[in-house]
Chains A and B, each alone.
Chain A
């Protein structure tokens, strides 16, 4: 793989970001070497500086950031000293970028192919005609459906996984020497992720392109990278060849990353025969507005002290089920029973006590907490509303709740959400749900916006609270690792139908429903040969969307 002199050499790179009026260090002296045709994985949690380093390898810093020291050489061109014009002539032509969210990174106002051809035509690499033909060839190579015509669609007319591949094609349009992949599959469903991974790897191999692959997902980087560099808060932790790194991490931090997926909730005894479930979803059919049904005859039970994971990809209807249970979306058919009694369909018809019993924790703690309210009010409001406590009693209860979520009350009670970390915000979200003394809590993708170590902490907290308070959880997620960690029972949904349901142990042992099988087999494993093996077993046409369509 490695040939000749390095393509990228970064020495002692320091980058600072503007916070208020001060420049604070983001990256504190990182070295990086990348040979032609090599793929380097950059991993770390959010705030590690991996995107900043990735962009710096292009000679680019985001607004509000500056290169404070060190050197960046790309093919013997000093990118720090280079003129704006020199840098611009490299961008797109010799160094390309693939962003995390293709949906946000394609301009909504232009067709895909017009955005694809812009770079090559602008840089004088090829004519419009040639570039269009090349785009179609790349689309075909990346296994996009209808490669001849898909480019003439607008971004909103194309699915997320397809957009991500179209963006990879766009990055390839000038046949660059280096591509920076910045978390290209993080926003995708597992089955979609795998086909994008396969497509990226295929095309990088095909053209011998060097790449920096940025991700927080170790299993993904294991498939993609020749070498891995681990970053933590702007410092390098360690770097090694992928296999050596996976087999034998040296630093404690790396080991902790590797160990992250180890949390397992102990197996619970099955609910007794005839026990009345806390929540029973019985034959629920629902849809939005005048549109067709998005849920079809969905039924499952959730017992006290147990966690039911509802698994499925985007559009499978798992969040819609939650909306039906909370009464935000009255079902068209069927009913939701709480401790054996049917709940009124719409939340407006429910009593305060019925409302109190069903609480939610949201995916984005950032947007779910009112940024203008202090923690005491965010948590105190439901206490006041449902239990009518005031004054000293109210304060005592709020402090108690903060202790339950392991936040020191004196330190946090008067803070604003913006003064908390992501994990702490999510803890406050949990405290707010607990404040109502509910028996049943819906957790909607509560860990998917968090780093793995932080997510682990949240899962442990939820588990402890469940044991202490005998709570019933409905855990909506698309992440099967989370399911393995916390679920007692699993409900697999696809296109608004429940395709499989049962205890966790049964779900993770064959035989499965075809769709469950596809989901399970699409979850990347830490083994660097996993993707090769899978492609060999399933065949390249039997992954992702193609396989999903076949199941219908």
Chain B
């Protein structure tokens, strides 16, 4: 098990390094975009004087490398900076000082909680659903059910998310007003109300991620069905469903867990479009707005959250895969 601890340590260190690379790439990407925050925020009223004033107040007259390292220095001391959006208005109204400043971290926290709530709701439905569908499809391989499940999930994964979202809005919000088409979420909603307003975006995400997980479950189980211990179980008179659930599934877990982790990471990072469609106040919305404004600290913070989600979920998947292997759990 000390090997496992070492693996986790190495992966975390590697993960931190990956985050550093991600932040550089994102910074470079924002630099490469035409225009900058000052022009974006001022729009029609972008007089050269106003633009210069904002640029100066944001320190944008310094070189890109300097600005990157200034930001990075802040991150290392736990300060993700302040959204340009906040700062600029202060400078326009002539306010200075730290009094009312809301940091990126403060802005991000409630949004992040919302996104996690949405992802968790979708995962709570999608993971059991796809496991069950995958097991049933393996059990009734080649049957009508197997084919229908495959066609259904493939159709939903092949359609763009926004399209799935609008179809759902059409049928479940417009034609039959069962669920709200706009997910207005705020802090003082109780759990059930919140859940009710999250149903449509969560359903959209479920439809998008189920196919991948279901097909992996099915194929991982079917791959094992030719093994000798499966034949042995059948020759012991074990019923088919039990052969699959008890004899095949435990040995098929490692690849399934990896695909689940990949999809969970997608649920956190891939919500951008879905959040925009449903005006769901999550990170995705915030991210899109920040990119429009070239709001570097906010974009960076969002990207780091996305990257960290990927890294941590993949690490978790690897740890769980190791733990499903009896050879590693019970050494000789």
Contacts and interface: CB of A to CB of B under 8 A. Distances in A.
B3 interface: no
Given A107-B247, A109-B326, A156-B326, A92 B226 contact: no
Contacts of B236: 91-92, 96-97, 118-119, 122, 170
Interface string A143-161: 0000000000110110000
Interface stretch (B34-42, B43-51, B89-97, B227-235): B227-235
A119 B237 contact: yes
Interface string A104-130: 111111100000001100110000000
B332 A157 contact: yes
Interface in B6-50: none
Given A97-B232, A154-B330, A157-B332, A109 B238 contact: no
Contacts of A108: 229, 251, 326-327
B54 to A, nearest CB: 62
Contacts of A97: 232, 235-236
Given A99-B228, A101-B228, A104-B228, A154 B237 contact: no
Nearest to B235: A97
- Name the residue among A89, A99, A153 with the largest chain B CB count within 10 angstroms: A99
B160 interface: no
A60 B232 CA distance: 11
Interface string B301-332: 00000000000000000000000101100101
Contacts of B229: 104-108
Interface string A307-345: 000000000000000000000000000000000000000
A90 B239 CA distance: 12
B250 interface: yes
Given A108-B326, A109-B250, A63 B226 contact: yes
A88 B239 contact: yes
A154 B232 contact: no
Interface in B137-152: none
A267 B233 CA distance: 51
Contacts of B237: 88-93, 119, 122-123
A157 B236 CA distance: 23
Contacts of B232: 97, 99, 105-107
Nearest to B326: A154
Contacts of B247: 107, 109-110
A348 interface: no
A62 interface: yes
Contacts of A89: 237
Nearest to A157: B332
A58 interface: yes
Nearest to A180: B235
A108 B327 CA distance: 8
A483 B142 CA distance: 51
Contacts of A154: 326-327, 330
Contact of A92 (B235, B324, B326, B327): B235
A544 B233 CA distance: 29
Nearest to B229: A107
- Name the residue among A60, A107, A154 with the largest chain B CB count within 10 angstroms: A107
Interface in A56-102: 58, 60, 62-63, 88-93, 96-97, 99, 101
A145 to B, nearest CB: 15
A63 B233 CA distance: 15
A107 B233 contact: yes
Interface string B46-82: 0000000000000000000000000000000000000
A89 B235 CA distance: 10
A187 to B, nearest CB: 12
A202 to B, nearest CB: 23
Contacts of A60: 234-235
Nearest to A103: B228
Given A119-B237, A154-B326, A107 B332 contact: no
Interface in B242-278: 242, 246-247, 250-251
A104 B237 CA distance: 18
- Name the residue among A89, A91, A105, A153 with the largest chain B CB count within 10 angstroms: A105
Contacts of A157: 330, 332
A62 B231 contact: yes
- Name the residue among B233, B235, B242, B324 with the largest chain A CB count within 10 angstroms: B235
Given A109-B250, A156-B326, A157-B330, A104 B234 contact: no
Contacts of A92: 235-238
A58 B228 contact: no
Contacts of A91: 234-237
Nearest to A100: B228
Contacts of B233: 107, 118
A301 B27 CA distance: 68
A170 B251 CA distance: 21
A222 B227 CA distance: 31
A214 to B, nearest CB: 14
A63 B142 CA distance: 14
Nearest to A58: B235
B183 to A, nearest CB: 42
- Name the residue among B228, B236, B239, B324 with the largest chain A CB count within 10 angstroms: B236
A336 B25 CA distance: 55
B238 A122 contact: yes
A408 B107 CA distance: 79
A118 B238 contact: yes
Contacts of B251: 107-109
Contacts of A106: 229, 232
Q: Which 10 A-B pairs have the closest CB atoms?
A: A91-B237, A92-B237, A92-B236, A109-B250, A104-B228, A97-B235, A107-B229, A105-B232, A119-B236, A105-B228
Given A91-B237, A97-B232, A170-B236, 14 more contacts: A60-B234, A63-B226, A88-B237, A99-B228, A107-B251, A108-B251, A108-B327, A109-B247, A109-B326, A119-B236, A122-B242, A154-B326, A154-B327, A157-B330
Interface of A: 58, 60, 62-63, 88-93, 96-97, 99, 101, 104-110, 118-119, 122-123, 153-154, 156-157, 170
26 contacts: A60-B235, A63-B226, A91-B234, A91-B235, A91-B237, A92-B238, A105-B228, A105-B229, A105-B231, A106-B232, A107-B233, A107-B247, A107-B251, A109-B250, A109-B324, A109-B326, A118-B233, A118-B236, A118-B238, A119-B237, A119-B238, A122-B236, A123-B237, A154-B330, A156-B332, A157-B332
Interface of B: 226-229, 231-239, 242, 246-247, 250-251, 324, 326-327, 330, 332
